[in-house]
Amino acid sequence: MNREFLSIVAKLSESSNILVVGHIMPDGDDISSVLSAKIGLERLGKNVLAGIDWRIPWYFYEFEEVNQILTYEQVKERGFRPEVVLIVDASSPDRVGQFQEFFDSTTVLLMDHHATNTLFGDHNWVDTKFGSTAQMVVRVNNELGVPYDEKLATLNLMGIATDTGFFRYSNADETVFSDATKLVSLGGKVHLVSRIFENKRIEQFKLLSTMVDHLRLELDDKIVYSYLSKEDYENNNCNEDDSGGFVGELRSLRGVELAIFLSEYDSGEVHISFRSKDWFDCSKLATMLGGGGHPRAAGCTIKGDLYVIVEEVIREAKNLFLTSLTSLNDSASK
């Protein structure tokens, strides 16, 4: 058994007051991991708060437990003094936002599956072989003896399902499936997880049409990109939460290897998502641009004018794509 894993389990076991923290711009795996860890530790009689320093997209409120996740301000107001902070799914300290302030006064435990993780905790269990951080939470909860029921099993499944694109991505390996099988046998319901994506508004279809209108292909249709400006969101009566799956739609186009979606979150701030199908390393591109992630799914944030950023990002993407393609072909011909 991994030593860092055992250290984290031991620290959690001996602590009474625990703060569980997720990352900014939270996704399904992050929210699942935060809630599964929090509820698991509470079932062992511990005093636990959970926090994420970011607005949580509306569709996750399909699970009422999401209301248990506090903002940084709410955690501070409560005057909570945790002995340990358990950070899940965050690859670098900036990803936890203002919760970094707790680092000096507590022991920081870190659990993550991102290869770009900077190991910023006192104990770092980072293992890229897992398709989701939620699977790491399963193992910690099991080791701690947390009892599971339908509610906890379903919340924990959410991370496995969402980080593997509902078992469709290449990270959906045997461990992913056997972990999911186990949670389903404990009462977990994937169809309840899929509800978070079955609450679409008609406006989201209109927003998709706008994105398709902006769609461009590059490098013999191997790269596809599109963007939405703050004005596009407003014109469609939408906000950034409503375009959650759009980069996946771009990726689903025939022949595409790299899909890029740029979203103007606020004037002067652009969120960029990268997805690839077979071989392009999105995390390399995202890291070059100040972000991070996985080989097949990564992202970054850039401040400045949307249209200037679109130009810059696509230029960088094309350069790295061509360089990578050359070395791919070189190694294939060896």
- Site residues (vs a copy of itself, CB under 8 A): 161, 165-170, 172-174, 177-178, 180-181, 184-185, 189-191, 193-194, 197-202, 205-206, 208-209, 212, 215, 249, 251-255, 277
For a copy of itself, the closer of residues 115 and 215 by Cβ is 215
Is the CB of residue 37 less than 8 Å from the CB of residue 140? yes
Q: Cβ 254 to a copy of itself, closest distance in Å?
A: 4
Tokens 């936890």, residue? 96
Residue with tokens 């998502």: 273
**CB-wise, 113 or 251, nearer to a copy of itself?**
251
**Closest CB to a copy of itself among residues 278, 330:** 278
Q: Give the DSSP H or E segment for 180.
A: helix 174-185
CB 39 within 8 A of CB 147: no
CB 219, min distance to a copy of itself, A: 16
Residues 196 and 199: their CA atoms lie apart, in Å, by 6
Question: Who's near 144: CB < 8 A, 6+ residues apart?
Answer: 9, 12, 13, 40, 41, 44
| CA atoms within 13 Å, Cβ hemisphere of 219 | 20
Tokens read off for 35 = 């809630």
Structure token digits, residue 317: 């993407």
Least CB distance to a copy of itself at residue 150 (A): 13
**Residue 41 or residue 172: which is nearer to a copy of itself going by CB?**
172
Least distance in Å: CB of 55 to a copy of itself? 19
Least distance between a copy of itself and beta carbon 320 (Å): 22
Nearer of residues 139 and 251 to a copy of itself, judged by Cβ: 251
Token representation of residue 332: 């294939």
**Dihedral sign (CA 28, 91, 167, 295):** positive
Gap between the terminal Cα atoms of the chain = 38
Closer Cβ to a copy of itself, 205 or 307, answer by number: 205
**Closer CB to a copy of itself, residue 237 or residue 323?**
237
Closest approach of a copy of itself to the CB of residue 40, in Å: 21
Computed on alpha carbons and rounded to an integer, the radius of gyration of the chain in Å comes to 20
- For β-strands 84-88 and 17-21, DSSP reports them as parallel
Cβ of residue 244: shortest distance to a copy of itself, in angstroms?
A: 12
